Amino acid sequence: MARVGTLLDDYGRPADRVQIIRRGKNNTRIKRSTNYGRSWAVEDELVPTGLILDDGGLRFEQHSNNPTHATYRANGIPKARLRVQRVYSTITKAQVYLGDTTWSEVEDFSTKDIVFDGGAGHGWNIPTWHEPIDTDTSLAVGELPREQGREVGERRQESTPVPVPATQVAVAPPAPAALILEASKVQRFSYLRVSSADQNLARQRAMIGDVNKEFIDEVSARSRADRPGLERCIDYLRDHDELHVASIDRLARSLVDLRFIIDAITAKGASVHFIKENLTFSEDSTDPRATLMLGILGSFAEFERTIIRERQAEGIALAKKAGKYKGRKRALSPKKVQEARRRAVAGESKVVIAKDLNVSRATLYRALKSD
């Protein structure tokens, strides 16, 4: 019986809620979730077993509820709640929860020691290895302030007071410049979409301007699940990042899908900017007029797409009536269908037949069922 699990990406972050069909030593056969987790994909796929958690989809649910939070573990023991800023293959930059809605400066953690569970593994407990900052700023004459801070997983020893001349003013050491830069730097990203590979992205790039990284889809405006570029984009975004899109219809043409995508972006602490419509949405956005405009423009985009489909269907019907429309070329010719039937009757595996004919199993099944 198929079970439900969590698919991780190469960094250990939950990527999808999946149905586990058959688990092997090296590879596991799964089906990804579709329709926002309400159903399963028709076709299955093989993924490395090490990327599958047989947890009923719990890790994916935890991460989805709070995608910017995680748990730092040392020797398998939860040590702290983290607010993740950037994830790399070996190092993750994150802040540590210190209690009372306070977070530390951005620090480096080993990515393999982080569990991306929305912070559920440690909760909101204060790290036991954290040494609270001394609020007493009074200094004796001739003493420098003691260093306050910590390193990952251990306390930093206090430095011994150093005598200085009485006329010298004691100044606390500044925070490392790299940490300040990392914490304050705003990354600009763009999402570009064209309906086919032969369309030009130059107009969208000109509207958006310079960015740190761009994500591209060369597909029609279908659901989010069918656009790998958009999935990578949303997964890549972090707190304070900016996503720039040329226009609303480049992101989605369904109002429901548009709202869902914007919510997914803002939930990660990022903001989305629509250049043509001059609209910006973020987690802190409270402008009711912007929300109203989003609904109106999104509805128009969806209406426009529906009209295009109706006209396309009418044109196809007229072309068929006139004998000018033959439809898309079949993946399997009648000769290949006969060959497939002969091999299937002989007891040969349909998986092997589909692979030899370079078609999917679904295509093969439809061809075998056709008259």
- 46-72 pLDDT per residue, tens: 999 999 999 998 999 898 888 899 999
pLDDT band at 197 (very low <50, low <70, confident <90, very high): low
pTM comes to 0.40
Decide: 147 and 134 in contact? Cβ < 8 Å. Answer: no
CA atoms within 13 Å, Cβ hemisphere of 236:
17
Mean pLDDT of 288-311: 72
- The confidence score (pLDDT) of residue 133 equals 44
Distance of CA 155 to the CA centre of its chain: 34
How many Å apart are CA 201 and CA 192, to the nearest integer? 7
Active site residues: 195
Domain 188-298 coded CATH 3.40.50.1390? yes
pLDDT tens digits along 326-362: 666 777 888 888 888 888 888 888 888 888 888 888 8
pLDDT tens digits along 244-275: 999 888 888 677 778 888 888 888 888 999 99
Ordered by start, the domain boundaries in the chain are 4-64, 69-115, 188-298, 334-369
pLDDT band at 174 (very low <50, low <70, confident <90, very high): very low
Q: Is the pLDDT of residue 243 over 90?
A: yes
Phi, psi dihedral angles at 210 (to 5 degrees): -70, 140
* Pairing relationship of beta strands 242-245 and 271-274 according to DSSP bridges: parallel
pLDDT tens digits along 12-50: 999 899 999 998 888 999 999 887 677 888 888 899 999
Tokens 């692979």 -> residue:
355
